[in-house]
Amino acid sequence: MPVQNKIINYGKQTIDEDDINAVIAALRSEYLTQGPSVEIFERDLADYCGAKYAVVFNNATSALQAAYHAAELSDGDEVITSPLTFAATSNAALWFHAKPVFADVEFLTGNIDFATLEKAISNKTRVLAPVDFAGNPADLDQIIDLARKKGLVVVEDACHALGAKYKGRMIGSLSDMTVFSFHPVKSITTGEGGALLTNNHKYYESAKRFRGHGIVRDGFAGLTHASWYYEMQTLGMNLRLTDFQSALGSSQLKKLPNFIDRRRIIAARYVEVFQKLPNLRVIQPNNLNESSWHLFVLVLEGSLATKRDQIFEELRKRGVWVQLHYIPVYKHPYYKKIGYVNELCPVAEKLSNRIFSLPIYPSLTNDDQNVVIDSVKDVLRKFS
């Protein structure tokens, strides 16, 4: 067997003793699910983001579905989103027989391009679903303003952006609904997990009902019922997060500001080194100190632009486990099968062919970051 190089992944969770103790305490308690930790985590999240309500889910894909359900998405409605995202953003719309419409992205940021988004609006559009690519918030003022004028609902896929700010305001407090993920590579983790944040009571109630089979237990006007009484009022699912996961979530959330600080320090170092190299560009957020830096994405330019795959393989051979975020969603075989054509979004395609994501996570050591930097420099030199 060849000696296995140490692998430095592009993302990784940070779990400390206090996180472990929080989970143990929840496991020793009366409740494994539907206990007090769930509502505590929801309150913590809403407070942290400055939103009125939070509803936690078993993952962000479920939270996206709940958001589209709350927006009353149905047959033939259109959802405008970015092709440079994880497939769940648009998949969740397909489950409601709605049609994802992909607007192109900006070459500089990888975020949805506002002019293209505006042009994509039709009389069937119901939801705008911007994605905060790499942790850099999309152009939310313009998008929310447009949605107000046209009577559309903004569902922000902020799975990369828990802890990010937009013009001084916390992500999670701005769009009609904002969705976060707690997958291990995201800002904080609950193993699997997600949340929907909103300031709108109707969306909040709808999301909660959708999470729990559409069942309602109280608030029946004018009637008196026995205490066991409940009604299933709408069609729902079971998309609940457990108590021990919620306990982990609250524990992780306390450390989120430190996590983000560490990501910003790592990113600043990468930016400093890589912006000096030829034929290379950094996907720069609008504000270096407001991004949550979920991803650190490099773009190959000039003579390196066609060599991404070789560079990618060479880095992985050295244990630097770079990733691709993303293949434009409509290029996946399933999307082709349902009628999407290649070359739909030329800028997203161009980016997708030239980008790769470097390791960035709070526990990445300076030594490991040095290994990444030296490897990238070395490999780029080789292909120059």
Residues that bind ligand PLP (CB under 6 A): 59-61, 85-86, 88-89, 131, 157, 159-160, 181, 183, 194
Q: Which residue from 180, 86, 67, 66 is spatially nearest to 127, judged by alpha carbons?
A: 67
* Minimum CB distance to ligand PLP, residue 363 (Å): 19
61 vs 323 by CB, closer to ligand PLP? 61
Residue 380 and residue 310 in contact, taking contact as beta carbons nearer than 8 Å? no
Smallest distance, Å, CB 83 to ligand PLP? Answer: 12
What beta strand segments (E) does the chain contain?
8-9, 53-57, 78-81, 99-102, 125-129, 153-157, 165-166, 169-170, 177-181, 194-198, 215-216, 231-232, 280-282, 296-300, 320-321, 355-358
Whether the Cβ atoms of residue 201 and residue 30 lie closer than 8 Å to each other: no
**Shorter beta-carbon distance to ligand PLP: residue 37 or 65:** 65
Indicate the residue type of 311.
I
Give the single-character DSSP code of 277. Answer: S
Least distance in angstroms from the C-beta of 284 to ligand PLP: 19
Pick the closer one to ligand PLP by CB: 78 or 156. 156
Q: Closer to ligand PLP by CB, 285 or 371: give it.
A: 285
- State CA 223 to chain mean position distance: 43
Nearer Cβ to ligand PLP (89/206): 89
Closest distance to ligand PLP from the beta carbon of 241 (Å): 11
H helices of 192-242, in order, are 201-211
Q: Residue 94 or residue 216: which is nearer to ligand PLP going by CB?
A: 94
The DSSP H or E segment spanning 289 is none
Euclidean distance between CA atoms 49 and 260, whole angstroms: 14
Closest approach of Cβ 18 to ligand PLP, in Å? Answer: 23
Closest distance of CB 313 from ligand PLP, Å: 24
